Amino acid sequence: MTSGAELRQLRIDCGLTKADVAREVGITRTAVADSEKARKVQVKTLERYMTAFAAVAKRNREERHQAQLAALLELVVDTV
């Protein structure tokens, strides 16, 4: 199971703020913060993070974002 701490680290490594993730997926910054505090993260939350990372990677075409997206995908596969 993926933890919120893992999501937080991926977000930081990707250079995104909580507000960036919230804006990309249409949730509040508080919801992002709550997800990152969770011991166990639901698959729906992982999907939201993937949406945000994919959007940023597509816009920026930066390898680090693509690498983070791949890491997040690996977490999703391990979770389901």
pLDDT in tens, 15-69: 888 998 888 888 899 988 998 998 887 878 878 877 877 777 777 766 666 676 6
Residue bearing tokens 């930066």: 62
CA 80 to chain centre: 16
Residue ranges of domains in the chain, CATH in brackets: 4-79 (1.10.260)
- Give dist(CA 68, CA 73) in Å, integer: 9
Looking at residue 65, its pLDDT comes to 62
Higher pLDDT, 56 or 76: 56
Which amino acid is located at 13 in the chain? D
Looking at residue 62, its pLDDT comes to 61
3-state helix, strand, coil in the chain (%, to 5): 80, 0, 20
Which amino acid is located at 39 in the chain? R
